[in-house]
Chain A
Amino acid sequence: MVFVIRRLLQALFLAFVMSFLVFAGIFAVGNPVDILIDPDATQAERARLIVQLGLDRPFHEQYFIFLGNLLQGDFGNSFVYNRPALGLILERMPATLELAFAAIVIAVVLGIPLGVYAGLRHGSPGSQAVMAGSILGFSVPNFWQAIMLIMVFSVMLGWFPVSGRGEVGEFLGIRSSLFTLNGLHHIALPAINLAIGHLALVIRLARSGTREVQAQDFIRFARAKGLSEPRIVLVHLLRNILIPIVTLVGMSFGGLIAFAVVTETIFAWPGMGKLIIDSIRMLDRPVVVAYLIVIVVIFIILNLLVDLLYSLIDPRIRLDEARQ
């Protein structure tokens, strides 16, 4: 319990530091008046907003006003949409989350069997092909992969749509493209694109895990006992290689949300990532600032969850911290 509270306090402190860095960054690089107030605003409106946002006061007071507004969920209005920036981001979050979720499912469902196969048949042509593919998956820049996917599967073969999210279905109160056929059809290519890097990673982990576990006594014992090969692989081997893979999947969720920026932009997927790129291009700064804060908070929460999960799986971590 002490550990949990410690980590929570650390996370809160980190959020505080990051909010300061973002604010100081805005303050250092440009005039906050230009960044937070619409350039098209009239002179009277400008003066009113400067007072309202406290931009006429000294730096430290401004920061506390900024922080106070953040804590009340007030991130300013978007210049482009003229609506609260936070609302814009939150309403696009589900699309990004479902894309990241689909990518993880693809990486795990394809990656584990391929990796286990490459580990069991180490050195065979099939195994080498899988490993060569995974190296290629690492090397090819994500955005170029996306273009190639569109070129081959949308333009040449015409199997998948080029862009968009498709129909959104509702199931158990959750609205997602994953619940309609049309939506699944739309999410396939972007999800594969986002998954490829992680697929390569899962394949590597599953392969090295398989090779390690395979040589251990309990597998040899299971063989000696005369268990069938599928049972050995599916029950005894799989269970023992899963822990590092589960950890990877948990830790990489944040990375997927970050990389979704690229995938979403290319496939015109209406998520947070596309919103931030559009906002940077259109100089819609309140949305950019709000996105930065939201993404930092997401990352702090994710890191916290991973740390807590770790300490559940491996009690030694908790003890080490307590001893300090």
Chain B
Amino acid sequence: MSVTDTQPTTAPPLTPKAQAPERPAARIIRDFARSPLALFGLALLLIIVLAAFLAPWITPQNPYDLRSLSIMDSRLAPGEVGFSGVSFWLGSDGQGRDMFSAILYGLRISLMVGVIACTSALLLGLTLGLVAAYFGGRTDTVIMRLVDLHLSFPPILVALILLAIMGRGLENIIIALVIVQWATFARMGRATALSERGREYVEAAQSLGLSRIRILFGHLLPNCLPPLMVLYTVEIASAIALEATLSFLGVGLPATQPSLGLLISNGFQFVLSGQYWISVFPGIALLLLIVAINLVGDRLRDVLNPRNIT
């Protein structure tokens, strides 16, 4: 693609240049596209997100509208044609729910919880990390001690403790995930900000007499974003996996919010009698989602790391 196309036409060239410098966004997109595996991951991710988003319009039935369910269709094997003449490509569950529809609806919930929780954790952790790095001293010590304490306990344990005290529920699991993840973002945000703090542009902003808050969020923050974006991508995957685990254990989402973890949990009892599809297909959907996010995240890590620019 031509780089000059993306340049604003209003900017008159001050000095005659053979070629305008390439914009970072264009370089990132080009570098990213060099890995077929990453492109595959991105395509997979887009398909999954789109399918989850469009679930109400593309699924053969609304799995939570009881009128569209028939108990006669319960536990059909994949590919069987149901009582009402609809074929169940991925089989049906104990209530005669089409698994394909249930999985797309489940993906919606899993994605929503993962993205909301992870975004809030990013905002909270990044703010604390930047504050710690910029102000230093006692503020820094207090925040980082808290981070160290936090990271010495495994995430699943922290989430379990919180949910044991708060009880299950959509808000509660999001709160638990945020509390589990903020420390990772805080540590990364602080490390990046520390390496940026000594740069000339910060010094320039300080000598201009800008306020601390303005320097922190207007100047330091944008420059800390690339490594954090990588972490954010990968952490969404782990948030989704953790939510699925907790919901599977029965301490996460309530039965009215059937995420992938709950679907797998519902199918577990049928695995023992050989009706594998009720658990296996939601699991494969979860696995594909996590692998797709991780493939994209891995490639972003390579592309956004300045040391890898050749």
Could you say which residues of chain B place their CB within 8 Å of the CB of A292? 161, 164
In the bound complex, do residue A141 and residue B241 qualify as a contact, i.e. CB atoms below 8 Å apart?
Answer: yes
Known: A144-B264, A147-B268. A26 touches B241 (CB 8 A): no
Known: A151-B271, A276-B160. A141 touches B165 (CB 8 A): no
Total number of A residues with any Cβ neighbor in B under 8 Å: 35
Known: A255-B154, A258-B154. A144 touches B283 (CB 8 A): yes
Could you say which residues of chain B place their CB within 8 Å of the CB of A29? 165-166
In the bound complex, do residue B286 and residue A141 qualify as a contact, i.e. CB atoms below 8 Å apart?
Answer: yes
Closest A residue by C-beta to B168: A280
Closest B residue by C-beta to A14: B149
Tell me if B279 counts as interface (CB < 8 A to partner A): yes
In the bound complex, do residue B251 and residue A262 qualify as a contact, i.e. CB atoms below 8 Å apart?
Answer: no
Known: A148-B283, A151-B271, A258-B157. A143 touches B250 (CB 8 A): no
Which among B15-23, B100-108, B125-133, B287-295 touches the partner chain?
B287-295
Q: List A residues 276-300 near B (Cβ within 8 Å).
A: 276-277, 280-281, 288, 292, 295, 299
In the bound complex, do residue B157 and residue A155 qualify as a contact, i.e. CB atoms below 8 Å apart?
Answer: no
In the bound complex, do residue A141 and residue B287 qualify as a contact, i.e. CB atoms below 8 Å apart?
Answer: yes
In the bound complex, do residue A303 and residue B165 qualify as a contact, i.e. CB atoms below 8 Å apart?
Answer: no
Could you say which residues of chain B place their CB within 8 Å of the CB of A281? 250-251
In the bound complex, do residue B153 and residue A261 qualify as a contact, i.e. CB atoms below 8 Å apart?
Answer: no
In the bound complex, do residue B264 and residue A288 qualify as a contact, i.e. CB atoms below 8 Å apart?
Answer: no
Could you say which residues of chain A place their CB within 8 Å of the CB of B290? 139, 141
In the bound complex, CA of A238 to CA of B294 (Å): 32
Closest B residue by C-beta to A256: B154
Could you say which residues of chain B place their CB within 8 Å of the CB of A26? 165
Could you say which residues of chain B place their CB within 8 Å of the CB of A266? 268
In the bound complex, CA of A139 to CA of B287 (Å): 7
A45 to chain B, nearest CB (A): 25
In the bound complex, do residue B286 and residue A144 qualify as a contact, i.e. CB atoms below 8 Å apart?
Answer: yes
Contact indicator per residue, chain B 230-248, by CB within 8 Å of chain A (1) or not (0): 0000000000010011001
Could you say which residues of chain B place their CB within 8 Å of the CB of A259? 154, 156
Contact indicator per residue, chain A 135-161, by CB within 8 Å of chain B (1) or not (0): 000011111100110110001100000
In the bound complex, do residue A144 and residue B163 qualify as a contact, i.e. CB atoms below 8 Å apart?
Answer: no
In the bound complex, do residue A150 and residue B156 qualify as a contact, i.e. CB atoms below 8 Å apart?
Answer: no
In the bound complex, do residue A147 and residue B283 qualify as a contact, i.e. CB atoms below 8 Å apart?
Answer: yes
Q: List A residues 1-57 near B (Cβ within 8 Å).
A: 14, 22, 25-26, 29
Tell me if A162 counts as interface (CB < 8 A to partner B): yes
Tell me if B272 counts as interface (CB < 8 A to partner A): yes
Interface residues on B, range: 20 to 34
In the bound complex, CA of A164 to CA of B203 (Å): 64
In the bound complex, do residue A162 and residue B294 qualify as a contact, i.e. CB atoms below 8 Å apart?
Answer: no
In the bound complex, CA of A312 to CA of B152 (Å): 20
Known: A141-B287, A142-B245, A281-B250. A288 touches B156 (CB 8 A): no
Which has the most chain A C-beta neighbours within 10 Å: B152, B153, B165, B286?
Answer: B165
Known: A139-B294, A143-B245, A147-B264. A155 touches B154 (CB 8 A): no
Tell me if A96 counts as interface (CB < 8 A to partner B): no
In the bound complex, CA of A280 to CA of B283 (Å): 25
In the bound complex, CA of A244 to CA of B165 (Å): 37
In the bound complex, do residue A262 and residue B165 qualify as a contact, i.e. CB atoms below 8 Å apart?
Answer: no
In the bound complex, CA of A299 to CA of B241 (Å): 23
In the bound complex, CA of A66 to CA of B46 (Å): 52
In the bound complex, CA of A144 to CA of B264 (Å): 8
Tell me if A265 counts as interface (CB < 8 A to partner B): yes
Q: List B residues 112-133 near A (Cβ within 8 Å).
A: none
In the bound complex, do residue A150 and residue B157 qualify as a contact, i.e. CB atoms below 8 Å apart?
Answer: no
In the bound complex, CA of A14 to CA of B146 (Å): 11
In the bound complex, do residue A151 and residue B276 qualify as a contact, i.e. CB atoms below 8 Å apart?
Answer: yes
In the bound complex, CA of A14 to CA of B286 (Å): 37
Which one of A144, A288, A303 lies within 8 Å of B164 (CB-CB)? A288
Tell me if B274 counts as interface (CB < 8 A to partner A): yes
In the bound complex, do residue B152 and residue A280 qualify as a contact, i.e. CB atoms below 8 Å apart?
Answer: no
Tell me if A94 counts as interface (CB < 8 A to partner B): no
In the bound complex, do residue A299 and residue B153 qualify as a contact, i.e. CB atoms below 8 Å apart?
Answer: yes
Could you say which residues of chain A place their CB within 8 Å of the CB of B283? 141, 144, 147-148
In the bound complex, do residue A140 and residue B165 qualify as a contact, i.e. CB atoms below 8 Å apart?
Answer: no
In the bound complex, CA of A144 to CA of B261 (Å): 9
In the bound complex, do residue A265 and residue B157 qualify as a contact, i.e. CB atoms below 8 Å apart?
Answer: no
Closest A residue by C-beta to B242: A141
24 contacts between A and B (CB under 8 A): A29-B165, A141-B241, A141-B286, A143-B248, A144-B279, A144-B283, A144-B286, A147-B264, A147-B271, A147-B283, A148-B280, A151-B271, A155-B276, A255-B154, A258-B153, A261-B156, A262-B245, A262-B248, A276-B160, A277-B251, A281-B250, A281-B251, A299-B153, A303-B152
Interface residues of B (CB under 8 A from A): 149, 152-154, 156-157, 160-161, 163-166, 241, 244-245, 248-251, 261, 264, 268, 271-272, 274, 276, 279-280, 283, 286-287, 290-291, 294
Please give me the 6 A-B residue pairs with the lowest Cβ-Cβ distance, nearest first: A258-B157, A144-B283, A258-B154, A255-B154, A141-B241, A25-B165
